[in-house]
Amino acid sequence: MKVLALAGYDSFFNAARLIAPYFEKLGATVDYALVKARRRKQISHEQLNELGLGNKVQYVDIKDYCESGEILKFDIVLSCLEGLSTRRLFHYLSSYGERRPYVICVYPGLILRYDYDGFAARAPADQLWLNCQRDLDNYTKMCEAYEVDASNSRLFGNVSLLEKIERTPNASDTGPIVFFEQAIIPRYYVERKYLVDKLCDLASRHPRRRFLVKARAAGSKATLHRSWYPIEDLFDEKIRLEGSIPSNISLTEQSAGQLLAEAAHCITVSSTVAIEAIHANVPTTIVRDFGAHDDYGLQYFYGSGLLKSLSEIQIGKHLKVDENWLSKYTCSPYSNLSLIDSVKKDYKRKRDIQSSLRCQIGQELQEEISSYGQEYILSRKYMSKENWLSRLMRNLKKI
């Protein structure tokens, strides 16, 4: 059994890396491929080395890789891709019918926003592994609305929990307080400057505690989302304008796993790391200072009992997570590893890709705009405002 893990960014490769050993235990071989998804850098060699993948990764264009037939060498595709690459994958695989590989789609992190866009893109998968019961319920509702078979969905759990955290003795009493930054949450300068100021205030209030700030990506590292105002630059700006920052706060390049092993407290806005911290019994606070905005994903944590403003955080006083929220919004994959065993039995039974596409776009609308080309539809250019040249070309076609 040959498995191909497709990914485009660091967290996506991390998900593939964590799942791969369980396929290998079944006797499968696992290859890795980086799918070209944009012109600028998607991942650095440093990041690949940190993931232990090094030179194991081949670089592919999904269109060329599928049309050349190279992808047919594999029995299973483990797709850890963002939406556009996922839509392209199923489009180019559909022409092969039963000869195509069996496709499993996996989410690398929490589904914080655009839930249904993501579900629709992945609906053609032979299996769609979801993070929690909430995601499973929402996917099922979508499929029912579009009269699409939802039986391909599986409750797998949060993939990142496959990386076990071994807590350091006395970490809760003596470890650092760690803030896990996100590249675009919050997004804007005023918000991010406020974040840095408040983190420094928090460190000043607790001068005997060590505070670490884990940037989502620093230096030459790349991520799916690029920050407009990198947090390390904002700390430098504060030092330049004010002369200093508290001596007990600093940035760190340690991995999230290393930090959670040692942390006395985890603070974040809406990072997937929060789920890892909760399951590792690390006291956790979700920062609510930036308001209720869908793009920031804080709604995922409503009902968790973990939301506080940065000024309200009291180090040493831990918030208790709501058990009902925990059971609906998180799930340990260790309870569902039998799914991987079942793939060995099921991988020759393929789902009809075309029947699931109506979740993405209605057949009649697709036919209406088909003259613009398939890439126009896959990349959803029809959902953007026309420029003058597009309008001119459209009107010329009517002549």
Instruction: Encode the chain (399 residues) as per-residue pLDDT tens digits.
Output: 999 999 988 889 999 999 999 999 999 999 999 999 877 777 787 888 888 887 788 999 999 999 999 999 999 999 999 999 999 999 999 999 999 999 999 999 999 999 999 999 999 999 999 999 999 999 999 999 999 999 999 999 999 999 999 999 988 888 999 999 998 889 999 999 999 999 999 999 999 999 999 987 766 666 766 778 899 999 999 999 999 999 999 999 899 999 999 999 999 999 999 999 999 999 999 999 999 999 999 999 999 999 999 999 988 888 999 999 999 999 999 999 999 999 988 888 999 998 898 899 888 888 888 888 888 888 888 888 878 777 777 677 666
Cβ atoms of residues 94 and 378 within 8 Å? no
Cβ atoms of residues 33 and 65 within 8 Å? yes
In a domain, residue 395? The reply is no
**What is the tens place of the pLDDT at every residue in 193-224?**
999 999 999 999 999 999 999 987 766 666 76
Residue 296 structural domain: 171-325
Number of domains in the chain: 2
- On whether both 201 and 130 belong to a single domain, the answer is no
Q: What is the radius of gyration, based on Cα positions, of the chain?
A: 23
Tokens of 89: 């994958």
- On whether both 320 and 336 belong to a single domain, the answer is no
In a domain, residue 384? The reply is no
In a domain, residue 362? The reply is no
**Tokens 């009493």 found at:** 173
Mapped onto helix, strand or coil, the DSSP state of residue 30 is: strand
**Cα–Cα–Cα angle for 136, 141, 143, rounded to 5 degrees:** 95
Laid out side by side, the sheet with 29-35 consists of 57-60, 29-35, 2-7, 76-80, 102-106, 127-130, 153-155
- On whether both 336 and 319 belong to a single domain, the answer is no
- On whether both 177 and 253 belong to a single domain, the answer is yes
pTM of the shown model:
0.90
- Whole-angstrom distance, CA of residue 146 vs CA of residue 311: 46
**What is the tens place of the pLDDT at every residue in 291-335?**
999 999 999 999 999 999 999 998 888 899 999 999 999 999 999
